[in-house]
Amino acid sequence: MTDPRSTADPDPALAEEFVHFAVRAGVLRFGEFRTKAGRLSPYFFNAGLFDDGAKLGRLAEFYARRLLASGVPFDMLFGPAYKGIALAAALAVELARRGRNVPFAYNRKEAKDHGEGGTLVGAPLAGRVLVVDDVVSAGTSVRESMALIEGTGARAQGLVIALDRQEKATAAAADGGGDLPHSAVQFITRELGLAVVAIATLADLLRVLSTSDDPALAAHAGPVAAYRARYGV
pTM over 0.85: yes
Q: What is the pLDDT of residues 57-82, one digit of tens each?
A: 999 999 999 999 999 999 999 999 98
Residue type, 162: A
Domain spans of the chain? 4-231
CATH T-level topology, domain 4-231: Rossmann fold (3.40.50)
Residue 38 has pLDDT above 70, yes or no: yes
Phi, psi of 117 (to 5 degrees): 65, 180
Q: What is the pLDDT of residues 203-218, one digit of tens each?
A: 999 999 999 999 999 9
- Average pLDDT of the chain? 89
Residues serving a catalytic function are: 112, 114
The mean pLDDT value for 19-45 works out to: 94
